[in-house]
Chains A and B, each alone.
Chain A
Amino acid sequence: MLLISLNGFLILCCSHLVSCRYAAPIKVDIEYTKGNQPNKNPEVKRGLVIGRMPIMLRSRRCVLSGKDEAELSKLGECPLDPGGYFVVKGTEKVILIQEQLSKNRIIIDTDSKGRVTASVTSSTHETKSKTVFFMDKDKIYLQLNQFSKPIPIMVIMKAMGMESDQEIVQMVGRDPRYGGLLLPSIQECASERIYTQQQALDYLDGKVGSSNSARAGNRKEGLAKAILLDVFLANVPVFRGNFRPRCVYAAVMLRRMLDAILNTDTFDDKDYVGNKRLELSGQLVSLLFEDLFKSMNAFALELVNRAYEHASRSSPLDFIHYIKQDFITHGLEKAISTGNWDLKRFKMHRKGVSQVVSRLSYIAALGHMTRISPQFEKTRKVSGPRALQPSQWGMLCPCDTPEGEGCGLTKNLALMTHVTTDEEEGPLISLCHSLGVEDLGLLSGEELHAPGSFLVIFNGLILGKHRQPQRFASAMRKLRRCGKIGEFVSIFVNEKQHCVYVASDGGRVCRPLVIADKGISRIKEHHMKELRDGVRTFDDFLRDGLVEYLDVNEENNALIALYECVNDMDDSEDDIKKSCITHIEIEPLTLLGVCAGLIPFPHHNQSPRNTYQCAMGKQAMGNIAYNQLCRADTLLYLLVYPQRPLLTTKTIELIGYDKLGAGQNATVAVMSYSGYDIEDAIVMNKSSLDRGFGRCIAMKKYSVLKEIYGNGTSDRIVRPRKDKDNQRMQILDGDGIAAPGEIIRNNDIYVNKETPINTRDKTGGPMGLKDEDYKRTPAVYKGPEGETTVIDRVILCSDTNDKLCIKFIIRHTRRPEVGDKFSSRHGQKGVCGTIVQQEDFPFSERGICPDLIMNPHGFPSRMTIGKMIELLGGKAGVSCGRFHYGSAFGEPSGNADKVEDISYTLVKHGFSYSGKDFIYSGITGYPLQAYIFMGPIYYQKLKHMVLDKMHARASGPRVMLTRQPTEGRSRDGGLRLGEMERDCLIAYGASMLIFERLMLSSDPYQVQVCRKCGLLGYYNHKLKTAFCSMCKNGENISTMKLPYACKLLFQELQSMNVVPRLKLVEA
């Protein structure tokens, strides 16, 4: 099994995994003519491989898709692994979901100067452009990159063939207020004496930007028309030069803009989730592929052209040879492994698109798949995009966001969110027409905005108008519910804008909701029974029109109830409301994401605590996957005895956290003990630790490469010589490689490697070298001193360059020690303050002794009531033998136990209803003065452990350049006395201390200084005199001490022709 794990990563054990990428061949059929035989039948080549496409794990093309648990485990894969990532160059990479402003939609906003703007980012297969209308000094202008200056809007309209001002005004709307606002623009156009299309085009030709005109070679005629055709509102199709659809579109833009001026409510909110699109890995890869494919073709063409010049008669030119296979493969691999998406055609340069899947815990990996990377750079100090949007409800998790710079920008999907993919437009458009949408081409401007009729806008494109919008919408929805059109098509009637928006584009977020008729759910008990019996699946619910997907926009047309109204006999006022209810939430807990779903009773916690837990749950140790012991990650932390939380939630069961837990149920006493529990520290029971509480395994990978050099020589791994250096080589086998199962200590050698001294010149090959020609370069293990670490596995494999690579997985079992970090699931982290013998621990008369003691001061300011309820529920759970639930907002639906019921259970089993126990002190044997709140709480051990962090140094290594102590724990560095510490010492006047710290303990150096020239001299050891090379004598030399860095500075300055001179004075 291990032989298949090429490049250090145990991936899918399937045959087509060559050199450790998980990719599939892209096959194309090509047709071409061979040589100079144009009249012969074209050559057809089928199934030509042009490259390899990385495959997302568990996607439809993945070998693992559709496999059941037994098959997956046979393949060595974890059935709980979510997939959704790629394997490139031996690492797992996720392509993060990218958040963007939606394309091809009119966005009304104000710019930095406070001007009202209407902008459209057009994105088609050919081009990308941004069209902006803005109002400056009452006049409306168009801004387009291709034009050097803003263009009066009326000129544009005229250039597109709307020569009559009346027509324009009619098209915008006949409301006199619109006319009033348009008047200055019309006036400006008239003052420029532009009345006809030709005049307008000529005017525009003059405004074409320099970069464009240069390209066209100073011929400016027709340029403006080309820009209007290709760039201006490029998303609106133009057939045979008929600009009318664009005119209407521009008019609608103007109308919306004027609306916004008249009524500020109609501004669009850029942060509104409905105006956002999420770009998934498929879209990103397809963009990349398209670009690479085109460049590959261009490259092939270039090669063929070049080859034609020196074509020989004997071997006819075969086009196939010029298609470079690795072009696409490498391009895709490079982009995914570096995360740099550089597309020339779309001027897209994005960094950090892909990330290495964090495998610290199962939840970390799962949370990584749902992460949404922000559209803005994180450094911007704006509050708007960071704030929680009401439209985020149910789509994006309100809790799961990082702290610090990415706060509120990096988001996570909620549990039931679905991101749409593109759907075919043609059938939908014709369907709209057959449902009574009047075509745009048949309508005059006057008719377009006739009162009562709504514009129908399909994916940002104006289709036409409809006289009965509500009927149209309900007809469309009916078709969707019975599955005639895609379930993710959204129909949204915007009463304010008098528009019906139909959307089928990709990247919208939507979620399923139960359809209700007048507040009564369509899902009845028998449906649920069928679901429980396994007869019915979720798709059946969708197909039968019981459940439907709503996107953020369509949610605005729905009235969604949290629960079905139980009481039929409501009073009349409520009845009206009830009859308006169109949908019912499936489950309120789905508004949270996977990370927040772990928290029991999150709705009882202060909200930042839930956010903290979302970040901490990713650092918790536990199980990573079922195949965790076969994996070869660089660093792996596992818990020895992970447990399933006593207090679970529905989300935990859905995502499988109960199978791959990351924590243990600890009996916690909330009390003060010993003073080693201040500042959130916890006191732990030594006997609990002896029995395995918090015990973890840290597995680290070390690899050694057997290098092959240019001259044909290579490293060799030799049998250890038993005579000398024996102590350090004890664990080596006869082959010079450490054996699995051996205990390895600090400074032990684990590979007895030797390197040829001469790696440049040609020698007689590897056989010709004698023993003396090698120098010893053994791999020495650097680990914590005094700890027993064990070699878990040794993997021999060849890397991509066919060099032998030896990988060691070194295992270290650790028990908790003072300073290790623990946390509950409520954002309450704390370090272990002290470890106390069990006999000193308090005990109850039942014989219960807590595993850890937490200080009650953790509660008042944190307000984590959820933790208290978890304790109560856990206690009730252990006493009655049933897992209790604490799903978010789950009390009404029975997904969370009520405190009252828990208390009842507690009393039934002889506990106090409050969860408090009568406790005796273990030290004195006297009862404690207070009742102690005690019960089980699920505790996570976090990855931050003292062993990996503790560091101290007396004297040690120094940096070569400055001779100052090295920096950082990994280099056994010194502890820096920084500027602020220095300031303190200066202020205190501890000058000798500063001298000692900054010079004597750092980089003292003795120099010879010439009193005359003030420059540094040197000490001639032969003559035993100091000498100034400037004055050419050794008469005026003094010896002094200064920091080596200072001497270095002087010399560096001298090298730049700056002369620092020291003036010495007798002290």
Chain B
Amino acid sequence: MAEKTMGGAGASRTSYQRYPRVRIREMKDDYLKFELRDTDASMANALRRVMLAEVPTIAIDLVEIEVNSSVLNDEFIAHRLGLIPLTSDDAMSMRFSRDCDACDGDGQCEFCSVEFFLSVRCDSDQTLDVTSADLQSTNPRVCPVDVAANALSSAADGYESAEQKGIIIVKLRRGQELRLRAIARKGIGKDHAKWSPAATVTFMYEPQIHINEDLMETLTLEDKRSWVESSPTKVFGIDPNTQQVVVIDAEAYTYDDEVIKKAEAMGKPGLIEIYPREDSFIFTVESTGAMKASQLVINAIDILKQKLDAVRLQDEESDMKELTSHLGNL
């Protein structure tokens, strides 16, 4: 398992520095589950918020429609195009179009934008699905995520799955046509949800479960079973050999207090104690596919660092400014 320390800001005064640890539990392209230990909720939440809102991605931002005789209107299609996740591995190095020097603010240069073309016309009697696969990108590194995934899988496995048809944009009937030019730009989730790379980022406190074994032994097997059943999620189980109540999956516990209530109802308060561990979190990150979930976390940490650096710089500057301004007033 990869273990990694997060670079703490090395302040030299009395050090409250912590050394958070990350332990990755499960890693897929679009899914990551890791533990974050030895830090507090503010840190965990900051990481979550950055992942949701401030990790930049690329998404279609401007659509010029040439021909649209489909049933959906122009804005409708533009909105749908915007929500298609694009592979954004280069997003971190790309420029925001608003502070791009290469183009005079119109955001149409190669440093800050990617151009897409779409031109579909239905000439058959069957309805034609216009999907993300029909989007022609000018930059091969930026394309709809499902297209990229298909390309990878077909390259690796050699067969194309029939059901992966891409993200449907609109359906065309005979004679209808859609032709447009779209420009994708870099942006962050704070501005619009289409730039958010994360489908889901959530964390939970790791529960600490203490079963009072002595009290538990006073229960009959029947009681134990009903007590175990009382949890809506499968947290506890009964060891078939020893017939003891064991914790199967502590993290399945949803802090619903059902088992505690049940224990009280059974007249055995204190049968179990569950505390959240305030300094360790279990993160679940699901990516839209714009970038790998692991990359998302790394990018988020980078951005968090940048932000902290900015705060520190600003802090020092503004402290001076404030002081001087105060002195100036006096």
Which of the residues A792, A838, A907, A918 comes within 8 Å of B52, measured between beta carbons? Answer: A838
CB atoms of A847 and B286 under 8 A apart: yes
The yes or no answer to A911 lying at the interface (CB within 8 A) is yes
CB atoms of A741 and B65 under 8 A apart: yes
The yes or no answer to A612 lying at the interface (CB within 8 A) is no
Query: What secondary structure prevails in chain B residues at the interface with A?
Result: mixed
Which of the residues B46, B201, B203, B232 comes within 8 Å of A913, measured between beta carbons? Answer: B232
The yes or no answer to B21 lying at the interface (CB within 8 A) is no
CB atoms of A687 and B189 under 8 A apart: yes
Q: Mark B177-209, 1 if CB is under 8 A from A, else 0.
A: 000000000000110111010011111110000
- A76 to nearest B CB, angstroms? 14
The yes or no answer to B119 lying at the interface (CB within 8 A) is no
Q: Mark A912-955, 1 if CB is under 8 A from B, else 0.
A: 11000110101111110001000000000000000000000000
CB atoms of A927 and B48 under 8 A apart: no
CB atoms of A838 and B75 under 8 A apart: no
The yes or no answer to B42 lying at the interface (CB within 8 A) is yes
CB atoms of A927 and B74 under 8 A apart: no
The yes or no answer to A745 lying at the interface (CB within 8 A) is no
Name the segment of A452-460, A588-596, A690-698 touching the other chain.
Answer: A690-698
| A838 neighbours in B (Cβ, 8 Å) | 52-53, 189, 193, 196
Bound-complex Cα distance A462 to B279 (A): 92
- A1019 to nearest B CB, angstroms? 55
The yes or no answer to B269 lying at the interface (CB within 8 A) is no
The yes or no answer to A686 lying at the interface (CB within 8 A) is yes
Which positions 41-62 of chain B face chain A at CB distance < 8 Å?
41-42, 44-46, 48-49, 52-53
Which of the residues B42, B76, B196, B256 comes within 8 Å of A925, measured between beta carbons? Answer: B42
The yes or no answer to B255 lying at the interface (CB within 8 A) is yes
Which of the residues B41, B73, B200, B233 comes within 8 Å of A792, measured between beta carbons? Answer: B73
The yes or no answer to B100 lying at the interface (CB within 8 A) is no
- A794 to nearest B CB, angstroms? 14
The yes or no answer to B68 lying at the interface (CB within 8 A) is yes
Bound-complex Cα distance A927 to B276 (A): 10
Point out which of B193, B205, B276 has the most chain A C-beta atoms below 10 A from its C-beta.
B193
- A811 to nearest B CB, angstroms? 6
| B75 neighbours in A (Cβ, 8 Å) | 790, 811, 813
Which of the residues A690, A913, A920 comes within 8 Å of B193, measured between beta carbons? Answer: A690
The yes or no answer to A910 lying at the interface (CB within 8 A) is yes
| B46 neighbours in A (Cβ, 8 Å) | 925
The yes or no answer to B79 lying at the interface (CB within 8 A) is yes
The yes or no answer to A64 lying at the interface (CB within 8 A) is no
The yes or no answer to B129 lying at the interface (CB within 8 A) is no
Point out which of B53, B201, B205, B256 has the most chain A C-beta atoms below 10 A from its C-beta.
B256
CB atoms of B71 and A847 under 8 A apart: no
Bound-complex Cα distance A839 to B44 (A): 13
Bound-complex Cα distance A837 to B256 (A): 27
Bound-complex Cα distance A792 to B75 (A): 11
Known: A741-B65, A741-B68, A922-B49. A837 touches B190 (CB 8 A): yes
CB atoms of A845 and B204 under 8 A apart: yes
CB atoms of B202 and A912 under 8 A apart: no
CB atoms of B192 and A690 under 8 A apart: yes
- B226 to nearest A CB, angstroms? 14
Bound-complex Cα distance A918 to B274 (A): 14
The yes or no answer to B132 lying at the interface (CB within 8 A) is no
Bound-complex Cα distance A847 to B48 (A): 11
- B185 to nearest A CB, angstroms? 15
Which of the residues B201, B205, B254, B284 comes within 8 Å of A910, measured between beta carbons? Answer: B254
- B75 to nearest A CB, angstroms? 4
**Residue of A whose beta carbon sits closest to that of B204:** A845
Which of the residues B42, B193, B202, B233 comes within 8 Å of A843, measured between beta carbons? Answer: B202
CB atoms of B53 and A925 under 8 A apart: no
Bound-complex Cα distance A847 to B76 (A): 28
| B49 neighbours in A (Cβ, 8 Å) | 839, 922
Bound-complex Cα distance A688 to B203 (A): 21
Bound-complex Cα distance A741 to B64 (A): 11
CB atoms of B258 and A741 under 8 A apart: no
The yes or no answer to A640 lying at the interface (CB within 8 A) is yes
| A920 neighbours in B (Cβ, 8 Å) | 202-204
The yes or no answer to B170 lying at the interface (CB within 8 A) is no
Which positions 208-227 of chain B face chain A at CB distance < 8 Å?
none
Bound-complex Cα distance A578 to B75 (A): 63
CB atoms of A686 and B193 under 8 A apart: yes
The yes or no answer to A275 lying at the interface (CB within 8 A) is no
The yes or no answer to A19 lying at the interface (CB within 8 A) is no
Size band of the B side of the interface?
Answer: 35 or more
- A78 to nearest B CB, angstroms? 14
Q: Mark A667-703, 1 if CB is under 8 A from B, else 0.
A: 0000000000000000000111011100101000000
Bound-complex Cα distance A916 to B255 (A): 11
The yes or no answer to A844 lying at the interface (CB within 8 A) is yes
- A935 to nearest B CB, angstroms? 15
CB atoms of B41 and A918 under 8 A apart: no
| A911 neighbours in B (Cβ, 8 Å) | 232
Bound-complex Cα distance A844 to B193 (A): 19
The yes or no answer to B83 lying at the interface (CB within 8 A) is yes
- A1065 to nearest B CB, angstroms? 54
The yes or no answer to A1048 lying at the interface (CB within 8 A) is no
The yes or no answer to A629 lying at the interface (CB within 8 A) is yes
Q: Mark A765-795, 1 if CB is under 8 A from B, else 0.
A: 0000000000000000000000000101000
Point out which of A688, A695, A845 has the most chain B C-beta atoms below 10 A from its C-beta.
A845
CB atoms of B42 and A910 under 8 A apart: no
Q: Mark B76-88, 1 if CB is under 8 A from A, else 0.
A: 1001000100000
CB atoms of A839 and B76 under 8 A apart: no
CB atoms of A692 and B79 under 8 A apart: yes
Which positions 615-666 of chain A face chain B at CB distance < 8 Å?
629, 640
| B196 neighbours in A (Cβ, 8 Å) | 687, 838
CB atoms of B52 and A839 under 8 A apart: yes
Bound-complex Cα distance A931 to B48 (A): 21
CB atoms of A925 and B45 under 8 A apart: yes
The yes or no answer to A40 lying at the interface (CB within 8 A) is no
The yes or no answer to A846 lying at the interface (CB within 8 A) is yes
| A811 neighbours in B (Cβ, 8 Å) | 73, 75
**Residue of A whose beta carbon sits closest to that of B205:** A927
Which of the residues B74, B193, B284 comes within 8 Å of A691, measured between beta carbons? Answer: B193
Which positions 272-293 of chain B face chain A at CB distance < 8 Å?
276, 284, 286
**Residue of A whose beta carbon sits closest to that of B191:** A690
Bound-complex Cα distance A697 to B76 (A): 9
Bound-complex Cα distance A926 to B205 (A): 9
| B52 neighbours in A (Cβ, 8 Å) | 838-839
- B298 to nearest A CB, angstroms? 19
Which of the residues B48, B252, B284 comes within 8 Å of A839, measured between beta carbons? Answer: B48
| B204 neighbours in A (Cβ, 8 Å) | 845, 920
CB atoms of B201 and A847 under 8 A apart: yes
**Residue of A whose beta carbon sits closest to that of B282:** A845
Bound-complex Cα distance A100 to B271 (A): 72
CB atoms of A687 and B256 under 8 A apart: no
CB atoms of B71 and A629 under 8 A apart: yes
| A813 neighbours in B (Cβ, 8 Å) | 73, 75-76, 79
29 pairs from A and B in contact (CB 8 Å cutoff): A640-B79, A686-B193, A687-B193, A688-B193, A690-B192, A690-B193, A691-B83, A695-B79, A838-B189, A838-B193, A839-B48, A839-B53, A845-B202, A846-B202, A847-B199, A847-B202, A910-B233, A910-B252, A912-B258, A913-B232, A917-B254, A918-B254, A920-B204, A923-B45, A924-B42, A925-B41, A925-B45, A925-B46, A925-B203
Given contacts A691-B83, A741-B74, A813-B76, 15 further A-B contacts (CB under 8 A): A629-B71, A687-B196, A688-B193, A692-B83, A813-B73, A813-B79, A837-B53, A839-B53, A847-B286, A910-B252, A912-B258, A918-B255, A922-B49, A923-B45, A924-B41
Interface residues of A (CB under 8 A from B): 629, 640, 686-688, 690-692, 695, 697, 741, 790, 792, 811, 813, 837-839, 843-847, 906-907, 910-913, 917-918, 920, 922-927, 931
Q: Which 8 A-B pairs have the closest CB atoms?
A: A925-B45, A847-B200, A690-B193, A687-B193, A845-B204, A925-B41, A847-B202, A839-B49
